[in-house]
């Protein structure tokens, strides 16, 4: 069984570091950022989005716990704000650690999040996913998410 547990301040430090590293790598892989400045940009982005860490208003950070093991299987970060004249959520990050993947924890975490958000009056959940992550795309599609917009990019050879 999977449960969501509010993220502790101690866990947040590891979360923020890993989040920045992963976000930097994803943006470099996508060709959006230069490797030399990616980690700094990612750290700045996280600090901007979560200026008060786990106490940032309207942001919810959870550890995903594999209850049968009593271990943290990953983490989930989402917001719940008024957007476009309605209450909606935005998923910033979902990570399930490699040893816990393909066991249903990500889908269960999303279902638990959806229950909370429904109770809070949310009418929609949005997220972004990198094109280089087909596993996440498949998960989200299986949960009923549909593509609402798409960014495309073409590098021009000889220019960086």
Domains of the chain: 2-142 (3.40.630.30)
Average pLDDT, whole number, for the chain? Answer: 92
Residue 159 confidence (pLDDT):
59
For 81, half-sphere exposure in the C-beta direction (CA atoms, 13 angstrom radius) is 12
CA nearest neighbour of 55 among 12, 93, 20, 87 = 12
| Beta-ladder partners of 65 | 3, 72
CA–CA gap between residue 144 and residue 153 (Å, rounded): 26
User: Does the structure show a pLDDT above 80 at 96?
Assistant: yes
- Please give the model's pTM, rounded to 2 decimal places: 0.89
């Amino acid at each position: 069984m999977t449960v969501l547990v509010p993220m502790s301040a101690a866990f947040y430090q590891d979360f923020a570091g890993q989040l920045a590293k992963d976000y930097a790598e994803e943006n470099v892989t996508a060709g959006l950022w230069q490797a030399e400045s990616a980690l700094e940009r990612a750290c700045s982005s996280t600090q901007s989005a979560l200026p008060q860490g786990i106490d940032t208003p309207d942001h919810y950070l959870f550890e995903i716990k594999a209850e049968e093991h009593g271990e943290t299987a990953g983490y989930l970060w989402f917001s719940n704000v008024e957007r476009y004249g309605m209450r909606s959520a935005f998923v910033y990050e979902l990570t399930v650690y490699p040893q816990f993947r393909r066991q249903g924890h990500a889908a269960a975490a999303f279902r638990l999040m959806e229950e909370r958000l429904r109770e809070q009056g949310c009418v929609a959940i949005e997220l972004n996913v990198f094109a280089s992550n087909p596993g996440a795309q498949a998960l989200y599609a299986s949960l009923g998410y549909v593509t609402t917009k798409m960014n495309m990019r073409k590098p021009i050879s000889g220019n960086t």
